[in-house]
């Protein structure tokens, strides 16, 4: 049964894709925020800019961080909670399910996201744990009671049986 669990490398690549998607969203939000800030500073004199620059910058960075974390929470909670798959997991043929085999819920998806924070805190050790666990569970999986299973995917292409790989176009054994 162990070969049905999503392995470390496959899961890591799926996570990188998800993080790239979130980075792109965050990048455009950051540019939009800078644009709004620049319009705000253009309407004031240079003395005002110097006095308020540090305060506004710290506030902007704090709000940006809070909003990006909120979007990350929404992304992972929604996709894991409703379909069990983020875009990265869809590409690599992975699906998150409850350890009992039942489909995910939004509550368990949120709990799994909270587990992401805990898995990250100690040098990402909670994610590395996947490589050594028998059921390929990270700390976030153990916290939420979930497992990641392999499904058909677009990365590996169509699946073949061993017999089909050994036949040529005329059906003769190679």
**Mind spelling out the 3-state secondary structure of 48-99?**
HHHHHHHHHHHHHHHHHHHHHHHHHHHHHHHHHHHCCCCHHHHHCCEEEEEC
The answer to whether residue 174 is domain-embedded is no
Identify whether 171 is part of a domain. no
pLDDT value of position 100? 93
Whole-number pLDDT of residue 91: 96
**Predicted local confidence at residue 43, as pLDDT:** 65
Would residue 23 count as lying in a domain? yes
Q: Count of residues for the chain?
A: 174
Structural domain contains residue 114: yes
Q: What is the pTM of this model?
A: 0.83
Picking from 95, 92, 84, 131, the residue whose alpha carbon sits closest to that of residue 14 is 92
**Structure confidence at residue 53 (pLDDT):** 77
Identify the pLDDT of residue 2.
52
φ, ψ dihedrals at 148, nearest 5°: -110, 125
Domain contains 170? no
In the chain, the number of structural domains is 1
Enumerate residue ranges in the chain where pLDDT < 50.
1, 159-169, 171-174
3-state secondary structure of 173: strand
pLDDT given at position 41 = 67
Domain residues for the domain of 100 are 2-165
* Phi-psi region at 101: left, alpha or beta (left = phi > 0; alpha = psi -120 to 50): left
Helices 106-121, 46-82: axis angle to 10 degrees equals 120
Q: What's the pLDDT at 1?
A: 45
> Which residue bears the tokens 């710290």?
58
| 21: nearest Cα among 75, 67, 96 | 75
Q: Is residue 140 part of a domain?
A: yes
Query: In angstroms, rounded to a whole number, what is the distance separating the alpha carbons of residues 43 and 27?
Result: 25
């Amino acid at each position: 049964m162990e070969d049905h669990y999503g392995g470390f490398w496959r899961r890591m690549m799926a996570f990188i894709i998800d993080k790239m998607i979130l980075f792109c969203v965050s990048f455009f939000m950051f540019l939009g925020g800078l644009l709004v800030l620049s319009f705000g500073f253009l309407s004031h004199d240079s003395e005002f800019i110097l006095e308020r620059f540090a305060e506004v910058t710290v506030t902007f960075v704090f709000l940006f961080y809070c909003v990006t974390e909120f979007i990350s929470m929404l992304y992972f909670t929604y996709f894991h909670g409703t379909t069990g798959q983020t875009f990265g997991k869809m590409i690599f043929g992975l699906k998150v399910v409850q350890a009992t085999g039942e489909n995910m819920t939004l509550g368990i998806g949120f709990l799994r996201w909270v587990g992401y924070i805990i898995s990250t805190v100690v040098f990402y050790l909670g994610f590395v744990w996947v490589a050594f666990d028998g059921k390929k569970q990270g700390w976030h999986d153990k916290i939420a009671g979930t497992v990641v299973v392999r499904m058909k995917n677009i990365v590996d292409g169509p699946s073949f049986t061993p017999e089909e790989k050994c036949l040529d176009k005329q059906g003769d054994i190679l």
